């Protein structure tokens, strides 16, 4: 009996010792261990299959808990408009993300996956989220602290839906407005773009003092990992053709397109996305010199490098023509995580074969995995892998909508105000007998928000999400005794015969994203020009432009009394009326040159042939009743 008891106690002690040894042995699960110790411990335990799984990011429509588990998937994303269901709530999103995460946590090593989304002007895929002005408008504010606050709000709204990673900010320096992504760029001037990298500590949190330069940082579960994009030179392509070739010297590349990356790395940006574009004919997705030698070795960037959507497919022309070559070229260039979107098994099989046949060295795989794990550890994903519902009230909160409204106010640029300073048209009187509101963009929330809103290419209409159209804002701002008439495209006779006190014309571009927005003529959409001529030919008018960039205005500028660049203001139309009617003053300054004719393009401040309609930095000011 006694011997049996001793034996049992011995077995129990042995089991305790084994359990303690195992707990001690799993250093990577111990948050008190140094970061590099945790990374090394985990990488040393991983099989090739587990490592390559970490390097892939797949679209949510082909993801499931089983898929994430079976293939050790490192990351899942929502493409533009890819949602759990129509009008999904914050809780719907959390449930979906956690479902994928449980698949990751039930793998042998329990490495959490990271969910990413394009939150490029607020959490723009999500119904009821606050939609902030696109970057082209934020550049006109010249207010980095405002942009930092927008980063903070966007992080909270993303985390409200369980998402810890956003593909923002775009720090392109758009040098040609014919580019369909120009509205994603803060300015043609790299100094403004550099200043606006302040959105990164807004998204990720302020770096702690004495933190190591280049090491990613995310301050807990109310912040998100950010992504500086698109590395590098995406805004400099010939004629602004998206994904095309940037022809420039190394000096120009480093002095115009690279500086904002220095600021982003210093601010601890977690990830950097590679550009579809080429530099002097070499695809950025294959550029070892700029990705590995310069970004990783010279600039000491310690986060991970991610491809763009099917970016390695596009290494060949036509895309996906030689996928094995594309995998080898992209991974060996230094891309750590590949956004394969749908076709992920072909990538996993292809890279496995390339490693086994020594075309991709194991050291390259280990570098990629260490970088991905570094970001996951820094974010606290191992300690808090699952999201909860506690931040649901942050999505589209009143506080965030007020911030967006402030951003709209500060982004508006007053380009013309009456024929001379003695007779300004703006601010408009709230009290008038009868006013006319016209234009395709006056009562269209989708047009007001632009591309990357609910869907990749944006939408038309007022039921796309929550927000206030400019027409609604006008109706709720003017004196209640003022009669308001809305006619989208009235005739000149109608305008002349109705005795209006003044008119507000809201016209612009219809939504687009990326290549669909490339334009060689940069004209107003639809009946925009006709509406301006008919309305402004019959009554004194202010034209509010809803565009992603400067457009051709020379033919109309003489007939217009007041001209306002409102860019793509987002969901809060009250920000426009706040300034039109004088509660706040105009303060925005052009962060882009406004050309006279597309024949002048490309034309940027400092160019020898500089002859703009409105120069870089231009913006008339007015006084507001309330302080800005």
Q: How far apart are the first and last CA of the chain?
A: 86
**Rounded (10°) angle between helices 398-411 and 144-160:** 150
Would you call 493 a catalytic residue per the annotation? no
Q: How many CB atoms lie within 10 A of CB 482?
A: 17
CA atoms within a 13 Å half-sphere pointing along the CA-CB vector of 96? 23
- Regarding beta strands 282-283 and 278-279, do their DSSP bridges make them parallel or antiparallel, or are they unpaired? antiparallel
Whether the Cβ atoms of residue 112 and residue 99 lie closer than 8 Å to each other: no
Among 176, 308, 328, 572, the active-site one is 308
At 224, give phi and psi (nearest 5°).
Answer: -130, 155
Show Cβ contacts of residue 43 under 8 Å, excluding neighbours closer than 6 positions: 51, 366, 369, 370, 373
Alpha helical stretches, state H, 257-389:
259-266, 288, 323-333, 344-356, 362-379
Beta-strand ranges (E) seen in 419-469 are 434-438
The residues with which 56 forms a beta bridge, in sequence order, are 338
The two tokens of residue 274 are: 């590679």
In whole angstroms, give the CA distance from residue 228 to residue 120.
11
Instruction: Report the distance separating Cα 450 and Cα 513, nearest Å.
Output: 8
User: For 436-540, where are the alpha helices, taking DSSP H only?
Assistant: 445-449, 470-475, 492-496, 528-536
Can you tell me the distance from the alpha carbon of 349 to that of 336, in angstroms, rounded to the nearest whole number? 16
| 137 alpha-carbon distance from chain centroid | 13
Task: Give the DSSP letter of residue 523.
Answer: P
Cα distance between residue 526 and residue 442, in whole Å: 13
* Preceding peptide of 258 cis, ω within 30°: no
CB under 8 Å to 600, separation ≥6 — which residues?
A: 609, 611
Please identify which of the residues 189, 509, 514, 561 carries the catalytic annotation: 514
Q: Is 130:468 a contact under the CB 8 Å cutoff?
A: no
Taking the C-alpha atoms of residue 504 and residue 195, their distance in angstroms, rounded to an integer, is 34
Radius of gyration of the chain (CA): 27
Q: Is residue 514 annotated as a catalytic residue, yes or no?
A: yes
List, in order, residues 6 or more apart from 622 with CB less than 8 Å away.
414, 417, 424, 426, 427, 579, 582, 585, 586
Distance CA 296, CA 283 (A): 18
Active site residues: 308, 514
């Amino acid at each position: 009996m006694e011997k049996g008891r001793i034996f049992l106690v011995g077995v129990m002690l042995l089991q305790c010792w084994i359990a303690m040894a195992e707990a001690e042995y799993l250093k990577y699960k111990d948050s008190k261990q140094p970061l590099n110790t945790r990374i090394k411990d985990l990488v040393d335990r991983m099989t090739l299959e587990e490592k390559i799984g970490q390097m892939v990011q797949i679209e949510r429509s082909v993801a499931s808990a089983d898929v994430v588990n079976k293939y050790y998937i490192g990351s899942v994303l929502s493409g533009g408009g890819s949602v759990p269901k129509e009008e999904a709530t914050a809780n719907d999103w959390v449930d979906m993300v956690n479902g994928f995460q449980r698949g990751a946590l039930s793998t042998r090593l329990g490495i959490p996956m990271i969910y990413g989304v394009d939150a490029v002007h607020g959490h723009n895929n999500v119904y009821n989220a606050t939609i902030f002005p696109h970057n082209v408008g934020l550049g006109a504010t010249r207010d980095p602290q405002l942009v930092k606050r927008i980063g903070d709000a966007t992080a909270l709204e993303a985390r409200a839906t369980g998402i810890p990673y956003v593909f923002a900010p775009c720090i392109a320096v758009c040098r040609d407005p014919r580019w369909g992504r120009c509205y994603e760029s803060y300015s043609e001037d790299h100094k403004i773009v550099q200043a606006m990298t302040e959105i990164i500590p807004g998204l990720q949190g302020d770096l702690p003092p004495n933190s190591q330069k280049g090491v990613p940082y995310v301050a807990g579960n109310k912040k998100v990992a950010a992504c500086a994009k698109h590395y590098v030179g995406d805004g400099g392509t010939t004629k602004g053709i998206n994904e095309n070739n940037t022809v420039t010297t190394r000096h120009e590349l480093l002095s115009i397109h690279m500086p904002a990356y220095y600021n982003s790395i210093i601010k601890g940006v977690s990830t950097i996305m590679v550009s579809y574009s080429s530099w002097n004919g070499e695809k950025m997705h294959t550029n070892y010199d700029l990705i590995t030698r310069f970004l990783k070795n010279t600039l000491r960037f310690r986060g991970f490098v991610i491809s763009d959507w099917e970016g390695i497919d596009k290494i060949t022309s036509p895309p996906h023509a030689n996928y094995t070559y594309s995998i080898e070229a992209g991974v060996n260039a230094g891309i750590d995580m590949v956004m394969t979107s749908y076709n992920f098994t072909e990538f996993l099989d292809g890279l496995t074969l390339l490693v086994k046949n020594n075309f991709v060295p194991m050291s390259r795989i280990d570098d990629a995995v260490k970088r991905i794990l570094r970001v996951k550890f820094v974010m606290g994903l191992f300690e808090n892998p699952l999201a909860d519902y506690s931040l649901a009230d942050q999505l589209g909160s009143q506080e965030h909508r007020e911030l967006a409204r402030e951003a709209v106010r500060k982004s508006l640029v007053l380009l013309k105000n009456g024929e001379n300073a003695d007779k300004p048209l703006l601010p408009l009187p709230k009290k008038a007998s009868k006013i006319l509101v016209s234009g395709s963009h006056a009562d269209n929330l989708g047009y007001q928000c632009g591309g990357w809103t609910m869907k990749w290419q944006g939408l038309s209409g007022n039921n796309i999400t929550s927000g206030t159209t400019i027409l609604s804002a006008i109706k709720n701002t003017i004196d209640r005794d003022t009669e308001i008439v809305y006619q989208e495209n009235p005739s000149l006779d109608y305008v002349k015969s109705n005795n209006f006190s003044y008119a507000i014309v809201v016209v612009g571009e219809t939504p687009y994203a990326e290549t669909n927005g490339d334009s060689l003529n940069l004209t107003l959409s639809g009946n925009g020009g006709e509406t301006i001529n008919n309305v402004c030919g019959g009554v004194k008018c202010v034209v509010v432009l809803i565009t992603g960039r400067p457009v051709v205005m020379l033919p109309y500028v003489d007939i217009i009394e007041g001209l306002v660049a409102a860019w793509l203001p987002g969901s809060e139309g009250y920000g426009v009326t706040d300034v039109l009617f004088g509660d706040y003053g105009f303060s925005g300054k052009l962060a882009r040159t406004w050309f006279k004719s597309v024949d002048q393009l490309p034309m940027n401040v400092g160019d020898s042939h500089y002859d703009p309609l409105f120069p870089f930095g231009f913006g008339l000011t007015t006084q507001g009743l309330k302080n800005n």
